[in-house]
């Protein structure tokens, strides 16, 4: 009869062998967490290896993603479509077993982890999504959304500040179905952590409002299983289970040392470890009886079938709710959404309002949040500045009994006060998007996008629809000064592959930017929005859906020379973004008085424009005439558009009223016009 130690040893053997074969990787963490994994995966985790996308599965996040061989072993052993050949191919090109777990690459992986601290933060987002979705869809009889979110994490995740931001929120939100198991092995890369990590982790989590359980022997699978059972009983707090473990458990010479952390054990030590563990099977060979013990397919099928029966009953009783839930879980927008977009663009053209683009964003959101219940907004303590809330998005609140509070109309909150936690917000939003059922968006000042940056990058890498509302996007914010004024941010966000970046110029472009962001099912978007008012810019094709079609290409011809009374072909193209587009139009007028003919191109999204056909790009930016870019930010990114000059800012800003700053930094029609004339004289 196979015992739990043998089940754990199967993980240890696979981890040792795969890391050895790849000649790189981290054997220590999987070997140390193997018993915790047995406790969770064989006694508690509700999942179906045959259908990794079963909506009501428990979510499992390996926050210490360097221990990837733990999860690959578990997925293989429990019956996911991850054959042993993939484990033999660990860390090789195009294998399903990359160095760190990657969502949508390996069946059963819920999120991409590796950047420490973000996995636990994603898990907070998943648990939030579960709680909110349950409050929105479950009925007295039908607990359709009802699962746990489990996380494994190590010292590294706890040292990272983002874990504080996210875990504090998990406590405030009383995410009682979030259960984190801490691999407390006292080792990180530099050695015994004692000199640099003396936090009292139990007290820290108690202070966040978590329940904390300590397992003095994290290698006692039954004790860990008992702790998980207790954690599942929690009705109002998330739980941290502290498991005292040995890194590299089983290795006679490497266990409990940093040497077990990030390199192969070596053939000799592997042989010694096998002997110590009593594991005599060939490399990568798992005996059938151990496979049989691990096989989670029959139980998983049963659980899903039971849920399907419940869902059928739900569907019969509440057909609309059932199809709405499935639509949202599949990430599909409602069919009427495209009409909502057209109406919002037409409305923007008709009203022709002069407002800040952050206000234009709120106007767009009013239309979109009313028709998309999946939009889950928020702000990192700047709601009144970011303007991320609308009448359709009351504040998300949780009562002392851990229930999501509903208003008189029975609606849950849909706008989250993340507090001053930009990175936490971004990583939590990733978790919400990964869970499904919501499209998260969150606001802060553009300058603080640096705080969130790695989570934005992770959303882009994972191809998840997360929308960042970055307001106060330039020196145009004025008196707050250089600490708050973005300079390099637009350019540096544009460098992140698969991140769409929009800097709209007026109300119509802002609606389009939001619409594209919402339709970008497989990428995140950053919306860069002004603090200061911007005029509506008349467009030749306004008032019909074709206006939408040019704006959504990321750049379009806004004004030809004829619009300022010059009947000759353009001698130069002025390219501008966001708040600088109206300045470009004024420069165009001024140049006309000198008989200089220019075309103004509004380029709200360089990232979207870059995706267009060569023919379209040529039509907007014709060859043979000089181009001048205007943007209140660093100039670096513009040279790739073949510009002859950039009116930009390559220093930090200054504290002063915005109109003075515009003059000081040369953002005047006169300076733009002079720049164009200087370029023409040179060419
Ligand atoms: C944000 C981030 N910084 C640094 C690293 C590099 N790194 C990978 S593992 C690790 C140490 C983690 O220690 P611990 O969580 O205790 O893992 P263990 O040694 O127990 O495997 C570091 C610094 C990383 N992956 N992510």
Chain segment 507-523, per-residue pLDDT in tens: 999 999 999 999 999 99
Give the CATH number of the domain where residue 558 resides.
Answer: 3.40.50.920
Write out pLDDT tens, residues 645-662: 999 999 999 999 999 999
Ligand 1 atom at minimal distance to the Cα of residue 247? 20
Residue 619 lies in a domain: yes
Predicted TM-score (pTM) of the model is 0.98
Ligand 1 centroid to Cα of residue 323, in Å, is 42
What is the distance between the alpha carbons of residues 24 and 671, in angstroms, rounded to a whole number? 57
Residue to mutate (ligand 1; options 116, 193, 255, 454; most atoms within 8 A of CB): 116
Domain boundary residue, one of 477, 501, 534 = 534
Is the same domain home to 343 and 264?
Answer: no
Is the same domain home to 433 and 568?
Answer: no
pLDDT at 548 over 90: no
The pLDDT, as a whole number, for residue 490 is 98
User: No. of H helices and E strands in the chain?
Assistant: 26, 20
Ligand 1 centroid to Cα of residue 282, in Å, is 31
Count Cβ atoms below 10 Å from residue 507 Cβ, excluding itself.
Answer: 28
Ligand 1 centroid to Cα of residue 27, in Å, is 13
Ligand 1 atom at minimal distance to the Cα of residue 114? 25
Residue 308 lies in a domain: no
Write out pLDDT tens, residues 194-216: 999 999 999 999 999 999 999 99
Ligand 1 atom at minimal distance to the Cα of residue 185? 20
Domain that holds residue 282: 4-301
Residue 542 lies in a domain: no
Residue 330 lies in a domain: no
- Average pLDDT (134-139) is 98
Is the same domain home to 285 and 350?
Answer: no
The pLDDT, as a whole number, for residue 226 is 98
In whole angstroms, how far apart are CA 516 and each of 94, 473, 551, 585?
31, 20, 10, 25
Is the same domain home to 560 and 506?
Answer: no
Domain boundary residue, one of 507, 534, 561 = 534
Residue 311 lies in a domain: no
Q: Kind and range of the H or E element at 572?
A: strand 572-576
Is the same domain home to 352 and 233?
Answer: no
**Reduced to 3 states, what is the DSSP secondary structure of residue 532?**
coil
Q: Taking the mean position of all CA atoms in its chain, how far away is CA 487?
A: 23
The pLDDT, as a whole number, for residue 541 is 67
Residue 541 lies in a domain: no
Count Cβ atoms below 10 Å from residue 637 Cβ, excluding itself.
Answer: 20
Write out pLDDT tens, residues 334-369: 999 999 999 999 999 999 999 999 999 999 999 999
Paired strand residues for 62: 152
The residue whose CA is least distant from atom 8 of ligand 1 is: 66
pLDDT at 538 over 60: yes
Is the same domain home to 501 and 598?
Answer: no
The pLDDT, as a whole number, for residue 583 is 98
What is the distance between the alpha carbons of residues 669 and 672, in angstroms, rounded to a whole number? 5
Ligand 1 centroid to Cα of residue 367, in Å, is 44
Is the same domain home to 409 and 521?
Answer: yes
Ligand 1 atom at minimal distance to the Cα of residue 454? 1
**Ligand 1 shell residues, CB under 6 Å:** 26, 28-29, 64, 66, 114-116, 154-156, 160, 183, 185, 187-189, 247, 261
- Mean of pLDDT over the chain: 97
Ligand 1 centroid to Cα of residue 160, in Å, is 10
Count Cβ atoms below 10 Å from residue 55 Cβ, excluding itself.
Answer: 19
> Catalytic: which of 110, 130, 422, 509?
422
Domain boundary residue, one of 247, 281, 301 = 301
Based on the residue annotation, tell me whether 563 is a catalytic residue of this protein: no
What is the distance between the alpha carbons of residues 268 and 510, in angstroms, rounded to a whole number? 63
Residue to mutate (ligand 1; options 65, 66, 119; most atoms within 8 A of CB): 66
Residue 327 lies in a domain: no
The pLDDT, as a whole number, for residue 414 is 98
pLDDT at 543 over 60: no
Is the same domain home to 355 and 489?
Answer: yes
The pLDDT, as a whole number, for residue 542 is 59
The pLDDT, as a whole number, for residue 206 is 98
In whole angstroms, how far apart are CA 145 and each of 135, 138, 231, 287, 388?
9, 6, 19, 37, 27
- Average pLDDT (267-295) is 98
Is the same domain home to 358 and 445?
Answer: yes
pLDDT at 545 over 90: no
What's the full length of the chain, in residues? 683
Sign of CA dihedral 120, 122, 126, 131: positive
Give the CATH number of the domain where residue 70 resides.
Answer: 3.40.50.970
Residue 391 lies in a domain: yes
Ligand 1 atom at minimal distance to the Cα of residue 28? 21
Is the same domain home to 220 and 250?
Answer: yes
Ligand 1 centroid to Cα of residue 624, in Å, is 53
- Average pLDDT (382-393) is 98
Is the same domain home to 573 and 496?
Answer: no
Confidence band for 544, pLDDT divided at 50, 70 and 90: low
- Number of separate domains in the chain: 3
Write out pLDDT tens, residues 456-468: 999 999 999 999 9
Write out pLDDT tens, residues 485-510: 999 999 999 999 999 999 999 999 99
430 burial via Cβ count (<10 Å: 0-12, 13-18, 19+): buried
The residue whose CA is least distant from atom 13 of ligand 1 is: 188
Confidence band for 577, pLDDT divided at 50, 70 and 90: very high
Write out pLDDT tens, residues 26-42: 999 999 999 999 999 99
Residue to mutate (ligand 1; options 156, 201, 457; most atoms within 8 A of CB): 156
- Average pLDDT (133-148) is 98
pLDDT at 546 over 60: no
Q: Which of 458, 469, 402 is nearest to 428 (CA)?
A: 458
Is the same domain home to 499 and 642?
Answer: no
- Average pLDDT (366-374) is 98
């Amino acid at each position: 009869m196979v015992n739990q130690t043998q089940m754990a040893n199967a993980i240890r053997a696979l981890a040792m062998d795969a890391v050895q074969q790849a000649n790189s990787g981290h054997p220590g963490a999987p070997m140390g967490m193997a018993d915790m994994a047995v406790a969770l995966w064989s006694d508690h985790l509700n999942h179906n290896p045959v259908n990794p996308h079963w909506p009501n599965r428990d979510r499992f996040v390996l926050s210490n993603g360097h221990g990837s061989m733990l999860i690959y072993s578990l997925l293989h052993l429990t019956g996911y479509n991850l054959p042993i050949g993939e484990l033999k191919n660990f860390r090789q090109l195009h294998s399903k077993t990359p160095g760190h777990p990657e969502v949508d690459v390996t069946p059963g992986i819920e999120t991409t982890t590796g950047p420490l601290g973000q996995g636990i933060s994603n898990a907070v987002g998943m648990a939030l999504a579960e709680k909110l979705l349950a409050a929105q869809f479950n009925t007295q009889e039908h607990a359709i959304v009802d699962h746990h979110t489990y996380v494994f994490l190590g010292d590294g995740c706890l040292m990272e500040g983002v874990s504080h931001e996210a875990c504090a929120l998990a406590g405030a939100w009383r995410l009682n179905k979030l259960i984190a198991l801490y691999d407390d092995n006292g080792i990180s890369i530099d050695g015994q952590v004692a000199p640099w990590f003396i936090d009292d982790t139990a007290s820290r989590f108690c202070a966040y409002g978590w329940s904390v359980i300590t397992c003095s022997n994290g290698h006692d699978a039954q004790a860990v299983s008992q702790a998980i059972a207790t954690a599942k009983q929690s009705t109002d707090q998330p739980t941290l289970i502290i498991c005292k473990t040995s890194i590299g458990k089983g290795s006679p010479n490497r266990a409990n040392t940093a040497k077990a952390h990030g390199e192969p054990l070596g053939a000799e030590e592997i042989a010694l470890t096998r002997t110590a563990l009593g594991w005599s099977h060939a490399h990568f060979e798992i005996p059938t009886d151990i496979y049989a013990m691990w096989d989670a397919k029959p139980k998983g099928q049963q659980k899903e079938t039971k849920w399907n029966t419940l869902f059928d009953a739900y569907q019969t009783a509440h057909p609309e709710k059932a199809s709405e839930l499935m639509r949202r879980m599949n990430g599909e927008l409602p069919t009427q959404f495209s009409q909502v977009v057209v109406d919002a663009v037409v409305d923007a053209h008709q009203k022709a309002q002069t407002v800040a683009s952050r206000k234009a964003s709120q106007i767009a959101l009013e239309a979109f949040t009313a028709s998309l219940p999946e939009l889950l907004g928020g702000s990192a303590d700047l709601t009144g500045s970011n303007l991320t809330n609308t009448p359709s998005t009351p504040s998300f609140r949780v009562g002392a009994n851990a229930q999501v509070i509903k208003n008189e109309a029975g609606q849950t909150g849909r706008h989250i006060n993340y507090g001053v936690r930009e990175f936490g917000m971004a990583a939590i939003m990733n978790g919400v998007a990964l869970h499904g059922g919501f499209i998260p968006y969150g606001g802060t000042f553009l300058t603080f996008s640096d705080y969130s940056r790695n989570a934005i990058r992770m959303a882009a890498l994972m191809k998840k629809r997360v929308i960042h509302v970055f307001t106060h996007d330039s020196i145009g914010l004025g008196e707050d000064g250089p600490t708050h004024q973005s300079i390099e941010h637009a350019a540096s966000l544009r460098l992140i592959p698969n991140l769409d970046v929009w800097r709209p110029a007026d109300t119509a472009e802002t609606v389009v930017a939001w619409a594209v962001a919402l339709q970008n099912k497989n990428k995140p978007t950053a919306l860069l929005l002004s603090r200061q008012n911007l005029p509506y810019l008349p467009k030749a094709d306004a008032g019909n859906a074709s206006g939408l079609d040019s704006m959504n290409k990321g750049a379009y011809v806004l004004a030809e020379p004829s619009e300022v009374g010059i009947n000759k072909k353009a001698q130069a193209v002025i390219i501008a973004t966001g708040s600088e587009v109206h300045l470009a139009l004024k420069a165009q007028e001024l140049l006309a008085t000198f008989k200089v003919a220019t075309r103004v191109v509004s380029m709200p999204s360089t990232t979207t424009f870059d995706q267009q056909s060569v023919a379209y790009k040529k039509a907007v930016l014709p060859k043979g005439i000089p181009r001048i870019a205007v943007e209140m930010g660093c100039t670096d990114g513009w040279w790739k558009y073949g510009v002859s000059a950039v009116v930009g800012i390559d220093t930090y800003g200054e504290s002063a009223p915005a109109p003075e700053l515009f003059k000081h930094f040369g953002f005047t029609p006169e300076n733009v016009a002079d720049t164009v004339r200087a370029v023409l004289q040179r060419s």
